Amino acid sequence: MFFINPVRIFVKYLALTVFFWTFNIKPALAIEYFSFSGHFDTGNLAGIDAYGSYSFDEGTEQLLSFTQSYSGLATVHTLADFSSITASTPTTFSLQSPILQIAFGPGDPDVPNSRSDDVKWYDWSVWKGIDYPHVPMTGSATGLFTVVPVPEPGTYGLCCSLVLLFGVGLRYRNKRLRDYVP
């Protein structure tokens, strides 16, 4: 009788995963998704929280999407707002336009997954007039943000399928033990 051993499959999967991590083998066009949130400590936006998300293509080293929102403000910055995009790694990039600059860089080495977010603007009224009473026309702000990678849906699917496969194997084993008559 043919029997699929879930433990053997899991060990093979684990061995392949360790092999790929050891030799840093990645798919040619791996797209990573990130979400970030943080608090501006200094500048004209001090005390305001910001949050957003972005995606980065490791194969071409390009930023594919970017969105940054501010709590209490109607303004949302997207990738379309910028004319110059410089990205070297998934967590270090710079976005520039004639009226706005956003730069993500290294954060506090003592805080895991932290990045520094520097925002400089020269005409805030371009985005939303309702923010104008709270935000000066020109200014800058700096804050420490936490950047967290968002797992791909395939990761959840793989985990669920392994648990399912393991459960089926255990059920089959228990059935064989119950049917065994000494």
User: Are 44 and 140 spatial neighbours (Cβ–Cβ below 8 Å)?
Assistant: yes
**pLDDT tens by residue, 68-119:** 888 877 778 888 888 888 887 887 888 888 888 888 888 888 877 788 888 8
pLDDT of 3 reads 58
Higher local confidence (pLDDT), 9 or 115: 115
- Where residue 61 falls (left for φ over 0; alpha for ψ -120 to 50; beta otherwise) is left
The answer on pLDDT for 40 being more than 70 is: yes
Place 176 in a pLDDT band, splitting at 50, 70 and 90. confident
Residue 128 pLDDT > 60: no
| pLDDT score of 1 | 46
CA 140 to chain centre: 25
Output the pTM of the full model: 0.63
* Helical packing angle, 6-22 and 153-179, nearest 10°: 150
| Helical (H) or strand (E) element with 62 | strand 62-70
The residue extents of the domains of the chain are 31-150
As a whole number, mean pLDDT of residues 52-61 equals: 85
